[in-house]
Amino acid sequence: MPDLAAISDSLGAECLGAVFVRTSTGTFRTVAATATAIFELNNTDYSWTDISGPSAPYSASERWSFTRFGDMLLIHNISDPIQKYDINAGGAVSDLGGSPPQAKYSCVVGDFVVLGNLSGAETTVHWSGYNDCEHWTVGDKGSDTQEIPEGGEIFSIFGDRGGFYVIQRAGMQYFSFALDSPYIFTRTVINPNQGAVSPRSVVNIGNGRFYYLSEDGFFAGADRTPIGAERVDKWILSVIDPAYLDDVSGAADPYEKIVWWVYQTATGLRNMIGYDWQLDRWCMSDKAVSDVFPLVTIGMTWDALDDLYASIDGVDLPFDSRLFMGGRPTLAAFDTDNKLAFFTGANLEATFDTSFFQPDDAVRASVTSARLTTDASAATVTVISKSYHGDADRYSREGAMTSSGIIPLRADGRLHKIRATIPAQSAWTIMSDVDVSVVASGGR
């Protein structure tokens, strides 16, 4: 897990949403929003330009939604009029025409913009007129509404090739194009009982594949394929502050094929847990962030380095970093200082724990050494031992890797767990297993 590398000035307040868009000339614009204002990142000096419209200051109490429709970016929350931003021309945003309803969520489906969870109608979706995101008159140009009678509050909507999904608190729906009927969309219940526990925990990676946190853990798809059962579900639900359970938010890292969720612990920390959908494995990070977003790297010139570093010797990133390339899809975050940052820094310290194992059923055993299968040049190992299940953990002295690769250790007990640590800023790619040498200690 690379460290965060901050590149921008502070937004001045917590970021409640961010997105990137590509203009017709191939350049990228990064837009972010706080509770009261909307900003665009200056790609030269990495300052933020306030592009708020006449409806500002805004009063967003939840995260903003961003949906691109042609050359227009729709930016909205349920408390304020929907804002539109001209992607090619730039400048300030303005109110979307056509008197659309205020809504929490939106997506594009074919030639329609769909809004979900409307102001005063949390179980209703409303789609625009055909190929016109500023036409919202029901019954005209195909625009219409649909109240969903079961499943409760709408938590997320996203488009698919043949329609769009609606994820609710206690149900899931699929609206498909109905080209052979007088209706634009027809509704199918795809899960009548279960939904998501947190609106922003729903992460869509395309082609009907999405992941989310439910009341009983992490799942994939409408059929609720468990991805966290007997691995992380009980643990994550025990460490999340229950008061912030509905604040869990997720984003897909477009480069590493990992879905990351940010959650708040009972101690007030905002940590991350990640699911690699290609490897079907979990990871975690205690790096403090306010939220994460899929963005693109901004790219830097040599002259622009002066805005971030006092001297060339102060550059703490490799010059082939994705941060310097520009336009590369990657995971971004806003740090605790409300600065835009990318996970392109030096590697953070990595910690690996095995489960507890019992070398000998009859007698106690002493761990004498370990050998790690890793390409890290430096690593340490600590043995955590117990005399019985429920006993307090006892930690051995930390052992360092020798020139032979063997790490000398001394730990006695019936149950042992190996903890391997790779120091921060180490260059490495693999840690696959540990071979442990044990001898019978003779004690019972």
String of b and e for 32-52 (b: at least 16 CB within 10 Å)? bbbbebbbbbeeeebebeebb
Residue 393, in any domain of the structure: yes
Q: Is residue 157 part of a domain?
A: no
The answer to whether 425 touches 369, Cβ cutoff 8 Å, is: no
What the block records as the tokens of 243 is 């008061």
Kindly state whether residue 419 falls inside one of the protein's structural domains: yes
Instruction: Show the tokens assigned to 133.
Output: 């995101």
pLDDT of residue 345: 83
Sheet holding 163-168, edge to edge: 154-160, 163-168, 172-177, 185-191
> Would you give the DSSP letter of residue 347?
B
Task: Let me know if residue 401 belongs to a domain.
Answer: yes
φ, ψ for residue 272, nearest 5 deg: -130, 145
The answer to whether the CB of 22 falls within 8 A of the CB of 31 is no
**Residue 378, token pair as written in the block:** 């430096």
Q: What is the pLDDT of residue 302?
A: 47
The two tokens of residue 293 are: 């977003």
pLDDT, position 229: 96
- Residues 6 or more apart in contact with residue 294 via CB below 8 angstroms: 251, 252, 253, 254, 329, 330, 331, 332
pLDDT given at position 258 = 96
Enclosing domain of residue 389: 350-440
Q: How far apart are CA 315 and CA 399, in angstroms?
A: 33
What's the rounded Cα separation, in Å, for the pair 273 and 198? 15
Which regions in the chain score pLDDT beneath 70?
298-327, 442-444
Give, rounded to a whole angstrom, the gap between the first and last alpha carbons of the chain: 42
Residue 261 lies in a domain: no
The partner residues of 165 in beta bridges, in order of sequence, read 158, 174
Tell me how far apart the alpha carbons of residues 151 and 317 are, in angstroms, rounded to a whole number.
48
- Other CB atoms within a 10 A radius of the CB of residue 379 amount to 23
Cα within 13 Å of Cα(275), Cβ side: 26
The reported pLDDT for the residue numbered 404 is: 87
Rounded to whole angstroms, the Cα distance separating 88 from 73 reads: 10
Asked whether 189 and 173 are in contact (CB, 8 A), the reply is yes
CA distances from 93 to 49, 106, 131, 218 (A): 12, 18, 21, 37
Question: How many CA within 13 A on the CB side of residue 354?
Answer: 22
- The answer to the question of residue 341 being in a domain is no
Q: Which neighbouring-strand residues pair with 249?
A: 262
Q: Which two tokens stand for residue 436?
A: 């442990």
Within a domain: residue 398? yes
C-alpha–C-alpha distance, residues 65 and 156, integer Å: 10
Enter the pTM of the model: 0.87
Q: What total of structural domains would you count in the chain?
A: 1
Within-domain flag for 367: yes
